[in-house]
Amino acid sequence: MFNNQIVLQKAKEFDVKFVRLQFTDICGTLKNIAITVEHLEEALKGELRFDSSVIEGFDRDRETDVILLPDPDTFEVFPWRPREGAVARLICDIYNPDGQPFPGCPRLMLKKVLAEAEGLGLTIQVGAEAEFFLFFTDEKGKPLTCTHDLGGHCDVSPVDLGENARRDMVLTLESMGFDIGASHHEFAPGQHEIDFRRQGALTMADQLITFRFVVRTIAQRHGLYASFMPKPLMGVPGSGLHLQQLLFRDGLNAFADGDQPSGLSAAAQHYIAGLLEHAPGYAALTNPLVNSYKRLVPKTGSPVYLGWSEQNRYTLVRIPSARGQETGVEVRHPDPACNPYLALGALTAAGLDGVKKQLVPPVPVEIIQPGDPEGSPRLPRNLDEALRALGRDDIIRTALGPYIYRRFVELKQEEWDSFHNYVHQWEIDHYLTRY
């Protein structure tokens, strides 16, 4: 555990010249304010103010000051920058000038949900499997949709031409304290996956935000562009972000029960039921783009239907085979474009609601096939449906808080309206000469 004094000592030890104070806006875009090391002590005391519209995602006529308060435990030196005059980062929470939490801070939203879990004597750990594409860029650095290889699932070089870039990404992440479980080429050409071993939920959210930044930085150094767009190409699988949640009480896995044939406790069953009950309500947070729903299509192998299984990878929730202290619940439909603070906060709130109400899940789906029969409960079909479902879910709205809920829906409704009013090439191709 770091404190302010240790951060100042580390900055001096590593010859840090610049510090990036990082935070995310409501949509999960990483932002930062750069300061020189001479102002680091001032920043650590929470004396740096800036305009809240940067977090809210709006340009407003009247500025509102908020405070960046760095988390000392997130201090890291960027390993790809020069060691002389190094650059470091700190992830920040956002507060009002009066010292009260700023209600639009996504990181504080997740902290609030985790505090509620701790009030029940529970702690949450999370593992992640993150997928992304690597694309070529044109002479101006603009990303193309041309992939850098024709590899498939777990292929090796020379077919997997992204192997070197992926290796550098993993080495860089490990040098920044990430515990990487595995990495490999995914099913689609140019698609890759990097897996993270379980951490505390807040640490994992911090790592996922950092992961996107690091991967894009290293890809650029290899002349490539890393995209976390859920479905950038037609006819090939999209990119997901599988999240494994584990619940602990007094250091013991609360999902595990060796006396049950399944190895799952009653708490695990209730948690699964909560995830399924609120899945339509939190879909806008786990799958926040118009494009997200181009990936979540029935009969494509995507987890669309509201079911769970120990074997069927096409269900929304899957129970990995590990038992005992590693017993976990994997949610398979989120995508890497989500704000991990809001997504993990919503998933945790949903699962805890199931535990508190002792909800009972449906019978598990054991038939291994891509999709369930027509008419089965399913995720929303598009962003508009997801926003409407979010509006009907009091548990998820409460977890977000009225401020983040209102701002998030306003931003996403604008996104949906822009898409809905746009004349797409598909319409030109299908209708122009026919009507």
pLDDT in tens, 28-40: 999 999 999 999 9
Structure tokens that stand for 396 in this block: 């998820």
Give the Cα separation of 255 and 171 in Å (integer).
33
In a domain, 18, yes or no: yes
Q: Is the pLDDT of residue 299 over 80?
A: no
Give, in order, the Cα–Cα distances in Å from 314 to each of 192, 305, 372, 390, 415: 20, 8, 9, 23, 29
Residues 97 and 121 grouped into a single domain: no
Mean pLDDT score of the chain: 90
- Is the pTM value of this prediction over 0.85? yes
Residues 155 and 31 grouped into a single domain: no
Residues 96 and 144 grouped into a single domain: no
Q: Which residue has the higher pLDDT, 373 or 136?
A: 136
Q: How confident is the model at residue 372 (pLDDT cuts 50, 70, 90)?
A: low
> CA angle at residue 411 from 203 to 342, to 5 degrees?
20
Q: State pLDDT tens for residues 387-433.
A: 999 999 999 999 999 999 999 999 999 999 999 999 999 989 999 99
Which of 102, 120, 143 marks a domain boundary? 102
In a domain, 434, yes or no: no
Give the Cα separation of 91 and 213 in Å (integer).
13
Residues 160 and 60 grouped into a single domain: no
Give the Cα separation of 406 and 110 in Å (integer).
17
Residue 3 CB: number of other CB atoms within 10 A? Answer: 11
In a domain, 385, yes or no: yes
Residue 348 CB: number of other CB atoms within 10 A? Answer: 25
Q: What is the reported pLDDT for 255?
A: 96
Q: Is the pLDDT of residue 59 over 50?
A: no
Residues 163 and 126 grouped into a single domain: yes
> CA angle at residue 133 from 130 to 138, to 5 degrees?
150
Residues 80 and 130 grouped into a single domain: no
Structure tokens that stand for 330 in this block: 């994997």
Residue 357: domain span: 112-426
Q: State pLDDT tens for residues 84-98.
A: 889 999 999 999 988
Count of structural domains within the chain: 2
Q: Is the pLDDT of residue 346 over 80?
A: yes
CATH number of the domain at 294, please: 3.30.590.10
Residues 179 and 310 grouped into a single domain: yes
Q: Is the pLDDT of residue 54 over 80?
A: no
CATH number of the domain at 28, please: 3.10.20.70
Percentage with pLDDT > 90 across the chain: 71
Q: Which residue has the higher pLDDT, 115 or 151?
A: 115
Give, in order, the Cα–Cα distances in Å from 190 to each of 148, 299, 301, 306: 6, 23, 19, 30
In a domain, 350, yes or no: yes
Q: What is the reported pLDDT for 154?
A: 47
Q: State pLDDT tens for residues 217-259.
A: 999 999 899 999 999 998 888 999 999 999 999 999 999 998 9
Classify residue 113 as exposed, middle or buried by CB count within 10 Å of its CB (0-12, 13-18, 19+).
buried
Which of 40, 69, 102 marks a domain boundary? 102
Query: What is the residue-wise DSSP string for 327-343?
Result: --EEE----TTS-HHHH
